[in-house]
Structure 1
Amino acid sequence: MTDAQCVCGGLRLTMRKPTKLVAVCHCFACQRRTGTSFSVNAFYAADSVEISGAATEYSRVAESGRKVRMYFCPSCGSTVYWKPDADPTIVGVAVGTLADPNFPAPTMSVFEQSKHHWVSFAEGTDCFQASPV
């Protein structure tokens, strides 16, 4: 099992199965959400994720044109997870909330059209200018 949590510990997730995908997103919304140049995201089967604690939902339309519902802690403001309407069978989790330096590296990089020029990833990472779908 893998656990994720916000800064204050009030919002927690337990994942009972391994991640299905680890990806980096360079879209401007992810840059603004994280306060840095990209987000690192782990995707899990929705039926393997247990959520506990209060969360506030923020819904937006992603650069892909699809709706994403993001959930953050109402106390500390950390964005912990999100649910993409494009695929209700998965839950996205911010890799930083896992606090695991040994977590698997991303295998995909998306929305590189807005990637900062100094960012690079390991050889073999699948790279897409926009959404791969």
Structure 2
Amino acid sequence: MTHRTASCSCGQLTATTSAAPVRVSVCHCLDCQRRTGSVFAAQARFPASSVAIAGASSTFVRVGDAGSKSTFHFCATCGATVYYTIEDSGDSIVIPVGAFADPAFPAPTFSVYEERMHTWVEMPAGIEHMD
């Protein structure tokens, strides 16, 4: 089994996984750009049963283009998002890749909202694209 721990900047909120990610993806939508403060978001999806959450979180609910709701859990002390859930994917927990602070984390295999991708960004060879 692969155990990895994601945490907020101050370490108060953690998510520990006991499984490999189901999918690692990047999203170029403007909401993800605003949420991360970067030009895209990189995230890994895990079965909810393989993730243990510790610490207190505050939440923010965002409604996506298709109407589904994502609930973001972030540390009330330092503000870092550690995980989120998507209304239509109740059996999954999504964790921002950067929260693992692991340069050896698996590369993304899926890229969405590329029409909003910054012109200087290049995705890995062989990645699956969805507009």
**TM-score when scaled to structure 2?**
0.96
Q: Distance in 2 between matches of 1:64 and 1:2?
A: 31
Unaligned segments of structure 2, at least 5 residues: none
Q: Distance in 1 between matches of 2:20 and 2:102?
A: 14
Displacement of 1:86 after TM fit?
A: 1.2
Displacement of 1:113 after TM fit?
A: 1.6
Displacement of 1:121 after TM fit?
A: 1.1
Q: Distance in 1 between matches of 2:15 and 2:124?
A: 28
Number of residues of Structure 1 aligned to a counterpart in Structure 2? 129
Q: Deviations over 1:57-83 (max 9, x none)?
A: 111101332110000000000011100
Q: Distance in 1 between matches of 2:93 and 2:39?
A: 22
- Paired letter, 1:102: A
Q: CA RMSD in A?
A: 0.7
Q: Deviations over 1:3-22 (max 9, x none)?
A: 00000000001101111100
Q: Does residue 1:57 correspond to 2:36, yes or no?
A: no
- Paired letter, 2:47: A
Correspondences of 1:1-133 after superposition (within 5 Å): 1-129=3-131
**TM-score when scaled to structure 1?**
0.95
> Identity percentage over the alignment?
41
Q: Deviations over 1:13-71 (max 9, x none)?
A: 11011111000000111000000100000000001100000000111101332110000
Q: Secondary structure at the match of 1:68?
A: strand
